[in-house]
Amino acid sequence: MSEPNPVAVVTGASRGLGEVIARILAARRFHLVLGARHADPLGRVANAIASLGPGRVVPVDGDITDASVRTRLIDAARALGGLNVLVNNASELGSIGPLTEFDVPRFGRLFPVNVGAPLALTQLAVPLLSQRRGLIVNITSDAARGAYAGWGPYGATKAALELLTRTLATELRERGVSAVLVDPGDMRTRMHQEAFPHDDISDRPLPDVTAPFWNWLFEQRPEDVSGERFAAQQEDARWLQPA
């Protein structure tokens, strides 16, 4: 009897890095559940990816902070047979500017999107992931460590996500579930352009530059990489970053 197709959930999958990750997983014969806020662009990406491989592609549109959307994502994975990989890629940048001018109530949006939703989705996913010794991939940023002027609120959310991810890797080890952090690096994406609306960012690489890393990561046994932090644009020997 042939092995069942592996299954992945990827959030923020309607463009940019999420779309690249989804395409790589599709080429690796994964069934996919793709999440994003807006139905039309998500549907176009899902249809395009469905033509790449033998796996099924299920789009689930809606705000990731909505509990019903998270439930639909995991229910869709269950209907496809289980869950091997969860990629928490959806995030929100917020305004760029000094902390002394930051609208503090705005944390009430950034933390739920960038920290609360990935954790809540992980909680729903763990029972399925534990059945297949699965992998949680949380997308981070060098802003979590760099103390870049103007990026404090976003960086704070990613720093929190990094701590939660390392803790999950420890707590879930006995359940056979692994968790890693991936910093994709500076890329030419819409989110980055929105951060600097008047700048020319054409010198930044497209998200496809991370493809070699993703192909390497999905070849690894999850338990061999759990708890690690990776920089997807480094050379092979330098992907692994100090925790």
Catalytic residue annotation: 154
C-alpha span between 217 and 211 (Å, rounded): 10
Which of 134, 138, 145, 132 minimizes the C-alpha distance to 118?
138
| Inter-residue contact 217 to 182 (CB < 8 Å) | yes
The one-letter code for the residue type at 50 is A
C-alpha span between 27 and 226 (Å, rounded): 23
149 phi/psi in degrees, rounded to 5: -55, 130
* Token pair of 168 as six digits: 């999950």
C-alpha span between 159 and 114 (Å, rounded): 10
C-alpha span between 160 and 18 (Å, rounded): 21
183 sits in which H/E element: strand 178-183
Q: In what order do the strands lie in the sheet with 85-88?
A: 57-61, 31-36, 7-10, 85-88, 135-139, 178-183, 229-231, 240-241
